Amino acid sequence: MRTRKPVIGIPADRRLLGPHPFHCVGEKYIAAIAEAADCVPVLVPALGEAHLEDWLDSFDGILFTGSPSNVEPQRYAGEPSAPGTLHDPERDATTLPMIPAAIAAGLPVLGICRGFQEMNVAFGGSLWQRVQEQPGFEDHREDHDQPLEVQYGPRHLVELADGGQLHALWGSRDLMVNSLHQQGVRELGRGLVVEARAPDRLIEAFHVAGAPAFALAVQWHPEWKAMNNPFSRALFAAFGEAARVRASRQFQ
């Protein structure tokens, strides 16, 4: 009898392609779930809370991805966005209530970049909209004039928290990561525990204290060619294993 692989929900962006709205997820995230986590990726349309309970019943884990859009600042009492900033209110309305509900329901959760920021906001935290303009912080943005291989290439070390979950996963305090963001954690959300910091002390990863299952988020992009990166493989494998545990319990 064939064993069913865990199903991972991936909430989508809502984007206009020409005059029509589409619900989109970057292929690199889909590939990382299918290959490095060895799970079945399922795209979740940005429809708000309408189907939240059904989605939580259907999935064995949820991946909150990066995106070109930013969380709307009114979601965390932030200053108005600079003109031209891309937002996605439909995604906000879908992911922000989904995050605490999924964690409370015991679903494994992994957040990446925007997903990391969403998880912070969902737990009452706030964001710097332009980290590079804040005293004491470095410029964490990618150079869009460079090819993708350079944009997603190693950029800086992060220091993993001694005894933290990522430290245990990696076995070392130092990890080289890429960096493709200008937003970052300003105030850490309630119940979130720092897992990694950049050299300028910007928070780069956290976990949800007391979560009944895997609940981690990172600011960098481990999904980029995940199978070629030992840490990325380990991270997605741990997420996939947590989803397998969840799936096995669902069918006992």
Structure tokens that stand for 82 in this block:
């600079």
Residue 159 a catalytic site member:
no
Establish whether 223 is a catalytic residue: yes
The one catalytic residue in 39, 72, 113, 118 is 113
Per DSSP, 65 falls in state -
Q: What gap in Å lies between CA 136 and CA 133, rounded to an integer? A: 9
Q: Distance (Å, rounded) from C-alpha 56 to C-alpha 189?
A: 23
Largest CA distance in the chain: 59
Beta bridge partners of 207: 193, 216
Which of 72, 118, 195, 223 does the annotation list as catalytic?
A: 223
Look up residue 19 and give its DSSP letter. Answer: T
Residue 35 annotated in active site = no
Angle, helices 114-122/89-104, rounded to nearest 10 degrees: 70
- Which amino acid appears at position 73 of this protein? P
Catalytically active residues, by annotation:
113, 221, 223
